[in-house]
Amino acid sequence: MKKIVAILITMATFYGCSDEVQFNTPALQGNKNYELWRASYYGAVLKENNQLTIKAGDNSEKMTITLSSMEEGAFNLSNKSASSIDFRDADNVLYSTRNIPEQENSLSFGNGKVTITKIEDNTISGDFNFLAFTEDGLNSIGFNDGVIYKVPVKLDKKLTE
Q: Residue 83 above 70 pLDDT?
A: yes
Task: Tell me whether residue 122 is in a domain.
Answer: yes
Domain boundaries, position 93: 21-160
Task: Tell me whether residue 3 is in a domain.
Answer: no
Count of domains in the chain?
1
Task: Tell me whether residue 123 is in a domain.
Answer: yes
Task: Tell me whether residue 88 is in a domain.
Answer: yes
Mean pLDDT along residues 76-92: 94
Task: Tell me whether residue 127 is in a domain.
Answer: yes
Task: Tell me whether residue 13 is in a domain.
Answer: no
With residue 129 as reference, give the H or E element that holds it. Answer: strand 123-133
Cα-based angle 8, 10, 13 (whole degrees, multiple of 5) = 110
More confident residue, 51 or 78: 51
Task: Tell me whether residue 111 is in a domain.
Answer: yes
Predicted pLDDT at 22: 42
With residue 60 as reference, give the H or E element that holds it. Answer: none
Task: Tell me whether residue 79 is in a domain.
Answer: yes
